[in-house]
Amino acid sequence: MEGDRRVGVAVDFSPCSKAALKWTVENVARSGDHLIIINVQKEVLYEEGEMQLWEATGSLAAFIPLSDFSDPLIAKKYGVHPDAETLDILNTVARQKEVVVLMKIYWGDAREKICEAIDSIPLSCLVIGNRGLGKIKRVLLGSVSNHVVSNGSCPVTVVKSAN
């Protein structure tokens, strides 16, 4: 991926992350880019021994190509469950804009792992959705997007989904 733009999108397959993905495809992705889907899992629910090397670092060492996480059996092995709409968006951008789509999975706190992804991949920019929490919920739960904007080392765009 040397010399190419690496555009990251934080995706948990929620409506707000799909809005961020759609926005990225329409406004940022261009031919030759690498679109890196960053997925953070809170829990490690895999068969014993199968992914222990990944658990130790809190991240999956390799990138998963679109063809692999489009396959339900392979996706299940990684603990991701992409919906048909997300896969359609990704397959369309890969085909129409000649964008290389890859996924990287992390385990742990989303705020920390997304910032880690920015540096370890490294990303040229990151797009993240915003759930639109109210002030009280945001104070109690914390905002992943606010944390990433404040602590990320690359340009970060927050896409607010229409609720």
> Which CATH number fits the domain that encloses residue 92?
3.40.50.620
Q: Judge whether 98 lies within some domain.
A: yes
Asked if residue 51 has pLDDT above 70, the reply is no
* 141's tokens: 């739960």
In angstroms, the Cα distances linking 114 to 36, 38, 102, 156, 163 are 12, 7, 15, 11, 24
pLDDT of residue 161: 73
* 103's tokens: 């996924």
Q: Judge whether 25 lies within some domain.
A: yes
pLDDT of residue 61: 61
The count of structural domains within the chain is: 1
* Torsion angle defined by CA atoms of residues 74, 161, 134 and 39, in that order, rounded to the nearest 10 degrees: 20
Pairing of strands 156-160, 100-107: unpaired
pLDDT of residue 142: 53
Asked if residue 15 has pLDDT above 80, the reply is yes
Q: Judge whether 84 lies within some domain.
A: yes
pLDDT tens-digit map of 79-121: 888 999 999 999 999 999 999 999 999 989 999 999 999 999 9
Residue 111 lies in domain: 6-160
Q: Judge whether 122 lies within some domain.
A: yes
- Which has more pLDDT, 93 or 42? 93
Q: Judge whether 124 lies within some domain.
A: yes
SS (H, E, C) 2-65: CCCCEEEEECCCCHHHHHHHHHHHHHCCCCCCEEEEEEEECCCCCCCCCCHHHHHHCECCCCEE
Q: Judge whether 1 lies within some domain.
A: no
CA distance 1 to 109: 27
pLDDT of residue 79: 83
